[in-house]
Structure 1
Amino acid sequence: MAGGGGEGSRSLEETSTWAVALVCFVLLVISIIIEHSLHLLAKLLTKHHKRALVEALEKVKSELMLMGFISLLLTVGQGPISKICVPKSVGNSWHPCNKEEENNITDFDEDALSDKCASKNQVPLISSEGIHQLHIFIFVLAVTHVLYSITTMALGGLKMRRWKNWEEETTTAEYRFAHDPDRFRLARDTSFGRRHLSYWSTSPVLIWIACFFRQFLRSISKVDYFTLRHGFIMAHLAPHSTTKFNFQNYIKRSLENDFKAVVGVSPIIWFSAVVFLLFNTHGWNSYLWMPFIPLVIILLIGTKLQVIITRMALQIMDRGDVVKGVPVVHPKDDLFWFNRPTLILFLIQFVLFQNAFQIAFLAWSLYEFGYPSCFHKNVQDMIIRITMGILIQVLCSYVTLPLYALVTQMGSNMKPAIFNEKIAGALRKWHHTAKKRLKESRKSGSNTPLSTSRSATPVHGFSPVHLLRYYRSELDSAQTSPTKRYNADDEHFDLESSPSTSNQNTLGSEAQHLRLTLQQIIERAESVDTTTHWQSTDDIHIEMRSNEIRDFSFEKRLEQ
């Protein structure tokens, strides 16, 4: 696309003031509408207690702000960059077009040779027109990625809605009868065993082949959901939580927290976009292999997640041929690549960005250069990009994302989403208050940083305990036997470094005064009306071992 001359290149000195004012007015109106729309959306999400989605929206706004800075830099640096000259041998390499097509473009745009670089027998590093086109492409890429991520998460969430019916089924008498804890069965005769334990499950090669095709046919069944749900509760909560804990709500909150990572663009992913631009040159036939990279990765992710479920079933067999009650899977990080469940989230983010890159590149090239061009010489090229874009969208939304949401809960640790927004906020305030009092006590030289009297318990509004007053009598009669620990990677509550012995004793007495275990918070948080407020915190306690105050670890209660 050639740059014009004559009347088409008039400066502002030769332009009517009404035209300048009109363009500025239209741009301002559009900007204000977008700003207020985002503000109203944030208020709506806040009203419905969608804190994670509000943070994701802030991430989108930060990406748009980044695009604004890039636009500003490109606009300011357009002149200086276009004046940088390089030797012809360097400037004429790695072009999208072949020599014949380049000659046709050069003949059409003879003004490109009339710059100062031509007098030095050199060529510009990138022309002003090229910078403008690059500016448009970066903007189209960012907007496409955001819209693509939102669409994928929304469609995936729609498919996972049926899990709500499965979760409600766990409270029925039929479910309790079918999952009788005193019932003995062969592991292979259970529904989970019949689905995953077969001749192919013991072969390192056949297991991957079978799981590859399984992701397309009922990638997640009801028995998978029930078994993984039961394994999660047995690993992190108390056994009696089976009919009380809402696993589907926990997955939903966890996925909302992950969305803010998916919608963002990390420096590594931006670097991959630069690499893809580099290889989009003549002779590499990038349209034949570049659109397939996201497809291969997303299929590999889906297969890996299916393999994880099957290997958990094999671990049940390793513990014995006979199982009592429901087969119990053991969540562990070593089931995932490099013992990192979060790596799968990064790969999904990479796939969504690269797929958005292909769609954005197609739309931008058609807008800027039309068809045919150096970037799209035939119809097959466009068909491949469009087909791959739709296929990856469907696979990611309806196969990979639901699998990811369920299987990544099988790591060694729970996620911070285990608490709903109300409880999580109360815990943060309570922790902040306790930490502040500890610091103040140390500064004053006191040996009692947290008073052991009941009145020293964080007051209503600062303690999470007041949210559970309704269940006071039930909690007071409970017995505790802490054995397992919950550590949140993203929400690490660290009170101070190595408290002194006297402080440990005081904290221990305070911990004895606060007697409420993790699973009770979780169970009750699911059923407490978040709009209800209570005034009294008497007789509501939390029990934590004093030697674990430093890590703020919550203990699991096992039924005696």
Structure 2
Amino acid sequence: MASTSCITTCDERPLDETPTWAVAMVCFVLVIISLFIEQLIHHLGEWLWKKQKRPLYEALEKIKSELMLLGFISLFLTVVQDPVSKICIPRSVGRSWHPCDINKHIDDQYLDPCRIKGKLQFASKYAIHQLHIFIFVLAVAHVLYCITTLGIGKLRMRTWRAWEDESKTIEYQFYNDPERFRFTRETSFGRKHLHFWSNSPILLWIVCFFRQFYASVEKVDYLTLRHGFAMAHLAPQQEKNFDFQLYINRALEEDFTDVVGISPVLWMFAVLYFLTTTNGWYSYYWLPFIPLIIILLVGTKLQVIITKMGLRIQERGEIVKGTPLVEPGDDLFWFNRPALLLFFIHFVLFQNAYQLAFFAWSWVSS
């Protein structure tokens, strides 16, 4: 009797009326896929640990935490979609803040208990299901976007290997003789950064804005920063054997550990993105420009920092001995916080991933 009642009232066939072989097949496939992914992550972690890639290992652990969070979100949405779909709200509230310009009477075509009461659903089961899929796509897109960015960064750094090898040659040691005196402006670093516009804040930012597109990191910058780092952290006789590129590579991997995760702040930004995707706000016009503006400001700021380090060399004297010695400092960064630039980069990566995920989700769902 219960089965007959279910057949007449349910839109889809329940579990007790589904063939057991179909249920077993679905469970088998899900278990196999889950075990494969779990073993893949486990062996990847062991390989990173053996290769002494501690930052990447920590990044993998963070990805595992994100997967656990996604699993909890998935379970929670599955559990609450039925009671949430039964919440009824007034029509005036339910017809506000739509992402698209829709007919005000379009909600009347959907049959649900709220319509009988003259109200609308707070959120339908299908809407929650779509949100469930989008959150999963967003997390996957963010991780893949960060991994792609890391790969591009490593490829870019390969071009620096020739500069690092050059720093160990006899010719380099001769040209950068520590006993050699030169005018600051006549050094390669000075010729690039010390000009009439260097002391003007407005001209400095304008030049640095355009410089980031064609000369973001040149050999003279790399070698000068390498020398400054070695003098600050190593003994003079250790500089020749120091591998600055290896250090930068490790620093890049440590930064990747920070940006690969989705922090609570970024989840809040995701909520704000959903809120602003409202008809009449035209967020699809101005929202994509936010990461573009931020990344251009960050790139310009980094160029300004390098130039200001050159100005500090000049302030110490018009003549330098050996290679110009740059002295980085937290005061060169916004609010004396270098980590703020990393947060902006993290934010840009997340928002770009959000845009890509939204495009992919909209394209597949359409």
Q: Which TM-score bucket, shorter chain as reference?
A: over 0.9
How many Å apart are 1:8 and its aligned residue?
A: 5.9
How many Å apart are 1:301 and its aligned residue?
A: 0.7
Determine the C-alpha separation between the residues in 1 that align with 2:22 and 2:195.
Answer: 74
Corresponding residue for residue 63 of structure 1:
66
Larger Cα-atom Rg: 1
Q: Is the 8 A contact 2:294 2:348 kept in 1?
A: yes
Unaligned runs of 5+ residues in structure 2 are: 1-7
1:256 and 2:273 aligned: no
How many Å apart are 1:14 and its aligned residue?
A: 2.6
Q: Is the 8 A contact 1:137 1:364 kept in 2?
A: yes
1:43 and 2:43 aligned: no
- State how many pairs are aligned: 359
| Aligned match for 1:320, one of 317, 322, 336 | 317
Partner SS state of residue 205, structure 1: helix
Corresponding residue for residue 489 of structure 1:
none
| Aligned match for 2:307, one of 310, 322, 333 | 310
Partner SS state of residue 89, structure 2: strand
| Aligned match for 2:330, one of 328, 333, 337 | 333
Determine the C-alpha separation between the residues in 2 that align with 1:99 and 1:227.
Answer: 60
Partner SS state of residue 320, structure 2: strand
Corresponding residue for residue 123 of structure 1:
120
Residue by residue over 1:324-382, the C-alpha shift from the partner in whole angstroms, topping out at 9 and shown as x without a partner, is: 111111111100111111111111111101000000001111212x1xxxxxxxxxxxx
How many Å apart are 1:33 and its aligned residue?
A: 1.3
Partner SS state of residue 160, structure 2: helix
Determine the C-alpha separation between the residues in 2 that align with 1:177 and 1:156.
Answer: 32
Q: Is the 8 A contact 2:107 2:120 kept in 1?
A: no
Q: Is the 8 A contact 1:91 1:125 kept in 2?
A: yes
Determine the C-alpha separation between the residues in 2 that align with 1:41 and 1:7.
Answer: 45
TM-score in terms of structure 1 length: 0.62
Corresponding residue for residue 452 of structure 1:
none
Partner SS state of residue 9, structure 1: coil
How many Å apart are 1:316 and its aligned residue?
A: 1.0
Corresponding residue for residue 21 of structure 1:
24
1:282 and 2:298 aligned: no
Query: In the alignment, residue 15 of structure 2 is paired with which amino acid?
Result: L
Partner SS state of residue 243, structure 1: coil
Give runs of aligned pairs for residues 290-309 of structure 1, distance below 5 A: 290-309=287-306
1:53 and 2:56 aligned: yes
Residue by residue over 1:93-135, the C-alpha shift from the partner in whole angstroms, topping out at 9 and shown as x without a partner, is: 10012133x54x546xx3x3431x2233221111111110000
| Aligned match for 2:87, one of 76, 84, 87 | 84
Determine the C-alpha separation between the residues in 1 that align with 2:327 and 2:55.
Answer: 28
Give runs of aligned pairs for residues 138-217 of structure 1, distance below 5 A: 138-217=135-214
Query: In the alignment, residue 71 of structure 1 is paired with which amino acid?
Result: S
Unaligned runs of 5+ residues in structure 1 are: 371-560
Give runs of aligned pairs for residues 383-398 of structure 1, distance below 5 A: none
How many Å apart are 1:7 and its aligned residue?
A: 8.4
Partner SS state of residue 323, structure 1: strand
Determine the C-alpha separation between the residues in 2 that align with 1:218 and 1:306.
Answer: 9
How many Å apart are 1:12 and its aligned residue?
A: 1.4
| Aligned match for 2:348, one of 340, 346, 351 | 351
Between 1:351-360 and 1:286-295, the stretch displaced more is: 286-295
Residue by residue over 1:489-534, the C-alpha shift from the partner in whole angstroms, topping out at 9 and shown as x without a partner, is: xxxxxxxxxxxxxxxxxxxxxxxxxxxxxxxxxxxxxxxxxxxxxx
Q: Is the 8 A contact 2:194 2:311 kept in 1?
A: yes
TM-score in terms of structure 2 length: 0.94
Distance 1:7 1:90, change over 3 A: closer
Query: In the alignment, residue 61 of structure 2 is paired with which amino acid?
Result: E
Between 1:133-142 and 1:245-254, the stretch displaced more is: 245-254
Corresponding residue for residue 130 of structure 2:
133
Determine the C-alpha separation between the residues in 2 that align with 1:135 and 1:347.
Answer: 27
Structure scoring higher RCO (CA < 8 A, sep ≥ 6) equals: 2
| Aligned match for 2:36, one of 33, 37, 40 | 33
Give runs of aligned pairs for residues 399-410 of structure 1, distance below 5 A: none
Determine the C-alpha separation between the residues in 2 that align with 1:309 and 1:239.
Answer: 23
Partner SS state of residue 99, structure 1: coil
Determine the C-alpha separation between the residues in 2 that align with 1:183 and 1:202.
Answer: 27
Query: In the alignment, residue 204 of structure 1 is paired with which amino acid?
Result: P
- Larger helix proportion, structure 1 or 2? 2
Corresponding residue for residue 433 of structure 1:
none
Query: In the alignment, residue 89 of structure 2 is paired with which amino acid?
Result: V
* Displacement over 3 Å in runs of 4+: 5-8
Q: Is the 8 A contact 1:88 1:123 kept in 2?
A: yes
Query: In the alignment, residue 364 of structure 2 is paired with which amino acid?
Result: Y
Q: Is the 8 A contact 1:235 1:331 kept in 2?
A: no
Corresponding residue for residue 3 of structure 2:
none
Determine the C-alpha separation between the residues in 1 that align with 2:139 and 2:350.
Answer: 9
